[in-house]
Structure 1
């Protein structure tokens, strides 16, 4: 029975350690997306045209 308590304690310590490492990585910007904003400007016109076409189609369907 003492083995279960020992394993449970070790697993909680490891989980807390991984959580703090994850928080440190987030704080340092490890998961920031640096690629998408530079590419988004290339496709922005297509997105604007699609949304304006969709809104025009929705207006004509409701009238």
Structure 2
């Protein structure tokens, strides 16, 4: 039973740490562009223009 006196504060601390990390990621814009990465992986950077230069 005394283990709960240790585990409950640790669990609350870790939960709060996860909440702070999630709120930080929202504030820093991590979820603003959800489709950008899926389109960037399909973009072919090796294609060349008509001038022979990379696009």
Does the alignment reach a TM-score above 0.5? Answer: yes
C-alpha displacement at 1:34, in angstroms? 5.1
Relative contact order, higher structure (CA 8 A, sep 6+): 2
In the alignment, structure 1 residue 15 sits paired with structure 2 residue 21:
no
Runs (4+) off by over 2 Å:
33-36
Q: In the TM superposition, what whole-angstrom CA distance separates every residue of 1:3-51 from its partner, at most 9, and x where no partner exists?
A: 0121011000000000000000000000112537xx8xxxxxxxxxxxx
Q: Provide structure 1 residue ranges, at least 5 long, that are not aligned to the other structure.
A: 40-63
TM-score, with structure 1 as normaliser: 0.51
More helix by share: 1
Does 10-19 or 27-36 show the bigger shift?
27-36
Kindly name which structure, 1 or 2, has the bigger radius of gyration based on alpha carbons.
1
Alpha carbons of structure 1 residues 8 and 34: separation in structure 2 relative to 1, 3 Å: closer
How many positions carry a matched residue from both structures? 37
Coordinate RMSD, CA, aligned: 1.8
* TM-score, with structure 2 as normaliser: 0.57
The answer for the alignment partner of 1:53 in structure 2 is none
